Structure 1
């Protein structure tokens, strides 16, 4: 059961640089893909270990970044472990492989989608994330609803709760963009589904 790691990043290379140094130790034989939405000049190797850095020179948003990373990972693997750039999972390759032995449609933390594992079979059945949720927010709720319509369920597991969780630091770095993106995505979600996420999930 092979898996790859995907990490989209926008403005927290200062946090991700430290974390990648740990991931190359935790996951010595796992491909790590990073999508740089903020032109942060991320190096293609960390301590001699190759990191696959992708970018098109502009911010394509969370949903598009997830799609891109998942597409790359599924070229070689059957599972994609997607992580935020401001968390450190604190697990090792063997731990993830044990989790993959369980049957699930989609594994995610009970907190939010800062860490999740999507199987290739789920991605093929549900489809790609809706890139109209731009630049961020509500793409997770939308995917959850689409999964439910396909008869699939989230497997919320504390196992995926990151050892280090620094989401508030990311929000503090650019609060205006955070609130604007959240508002725009909520309005698109309501237009698409007729109600807000909390009314449907």
Structure 2
């Protein structure tokens, strides 16, 4: 059995389907068909195709989850189901004549140990390289078992498209794995059909391409395979070209970079992180990358945020970041370290006491609140995080937000150090709160035994979770 991997966005791949189906009596194959678009008419046609043909695995995601992610998933399925190999195919490509069985036979005849097999193809009159015969690379290819064993899967940080293929081929070359090319012209490629049929996406391509190019450049030291020079990712010896399936979603956690968190399509996310990196705060992409998530919620309110409270603010890095990004704000801080260790400025008011002291914290909030934004960066102990939420959420202005950082202490090895016999972890408490919000009137308010959830869940607009933290916003 041969696997055929196709990702569809806005172009129904009729020609591709027909060029393979007519040889169904000669070649046993199954489809791994992914829908990344949002056109109901195309989704309906793909569903009909899946229902009317055997051996079709159809994944109608309805959103652009990224080529690398779906390719990885399909390769994993193909391995699981015992396929001989899987052919990755662009949706705007079709085999010429009997090109499909010819390419299958070509791959079957290859000796073990190749990295990738691909084919020559004719570019259509609408292609950017119309009339030329070119190597199709990832537009029509088989990833060899040797490649999966030695360099693994695609880097999903290249999303939603562009440079994931360049990255993979560069890793093949670094591993000295050969790219085998069937020199016969076996396919026609109507390249860039998706862009021609989707004007909105075409406007976005420059931003997608630019962002992924910047990531590739950081990762390999050049703009393409010829100009790149690094032998290991980011020129660091602790990294190898190998990416496991499990790690593919973010292969290099320590290299979380600004370009990977930039919003696409005209957004401005990244300024807060730039400021945070300048001042050296740990919540920037230097370490935690929290600031991208904060900016998505607080960016539109940047000029109107007046009061910010941070629990356990520490030295100056955080306060300087808030002062620069929120020009009209005043920073309030609580930290148990001595007062002479605190950051001081005309725009910052600090107090020295243990923020787990509920009485002192409540009195502080009554004196200086309500607040537009609150950051709990305290002890990360479950009972302390839950208590802080219960005390501080009522101190938000309508439309204000509170962030709870480092709730990853609810998991794994951290539970021994941060649980301290608390009957419920912070993450479980937040899930319970989230359930109440999502259920809305479907559950009986009187049945809720937690008085905070019972009283304040109706006032919560949303809870946004992200790696190691969350932001809760109060209804306006």
Counting only pairs closer than 5 Å after superposition, residues 9-88 of structure 1 correspond to structure 2 as: 9-13=8-12, 16-28=13-25, 29-39=28-38, 40-41=42-43, 42-43=46-47, 45=49, 48-50=52-54, 51-75=56-80, 76-88=82-94
Report what 2:196 is aligned to: 172
Q: CA-to-partner distance for each residue in 1:138-181, whole Å, 9 max, x for gaps? A: 1111111212222212123334751x211133232332233222
User: Could you tell me which of 148, 156, 180 is aligned with 1:131?
Assistant: 156
- 1:151–1:112 distance in 2 versus 1, CA, 3 Å: closer
Shift of 1:193: 1.1
Partner of residue 105, structure 2 = 97
**Deviation by residue 1:167-198 (Cα, 9 ceiling, x = unmatched):** 13323233223322211111110111121114
How big is the shift at 1:120? 2.7
Match of 1:200 in 2: 228
The whole-number CA distance in structure 2 between the counterparts of 1:83 and 1:17 is 13
Query: Radius of gyration: which is bigger?
Result: 2
Higher relative contact order (CA 8 A, sep 6+): 1
**Aligned residue runs from structure 1 range 186-197, under 5 A:** 186-197=213-224
Distance in 1, Cα, partners of 2:69 & 2:60: 11
Q: In the aligned structure 2, how far is the partner of 1:94 from the partner of 1:153?
A: 20
Measured on the aligned residues, the alpha-carbon RMSD in Å equals 2.3
1:38–1:58 contact (8 Å) kept in structure 2 = yes
Cα contact 1:27–1:93 (8 A) shared by 2: no
Structure 1's unaligned 5+ residue stretches are: none
- Cα distance between partner residues in 1 of 2:175 and 2:116: 13
Q: Partner of 1:31: helix, strand, or coil?
A: strand
Residue of structure 1 in register with 2:3 after alignment:
4
Distance 2:184 2:210 in 1: 31
Partner of 2:449: none
1:106 to 100, 108, 116: 116
Provide the TM-score with structure 1 as the length reference: 0.86
> Which piece of structure 1 moves more, 178-187 or 38-47?
38-47
For residues 74-112 of structure 1, give each alpha carbon's deviation from its aligned partner in whole angstroms, at most 9, with x where no partner exists: 222131111000000232336412432112321123244
CA 114–125 in structure 1, closer or farther in 2 if over 3 Å, else same: same
- In 1, Cα distance between equivalents of 2:220 and 2:182: 27
Change (3 A) 1:159 1:99: farther
User: Helix, strand or coil: the match of 1:67?
Assistant: helix
Q: Contact 1:27–1:92 (CA<8 Å) still a contact in 2?
A: no
Q: CA offsets, 1:22-51, max 9 Å, x none?
A: 322224421111111114412153693232
Moved more, 151-160 or 39-48: 39-48
Aligned residues between the structures: 197
Contact 2:103 2:182 in 1 (8 A): no
Distance 1:36 1:168 in 2: 17
Query: What is the correspondence of 1:141-180 to structure 2 with a 5 Å cutoff?
Result: 141-159=166-184, 161-162=186-187, 164-173=188-197, 174-180=201-207
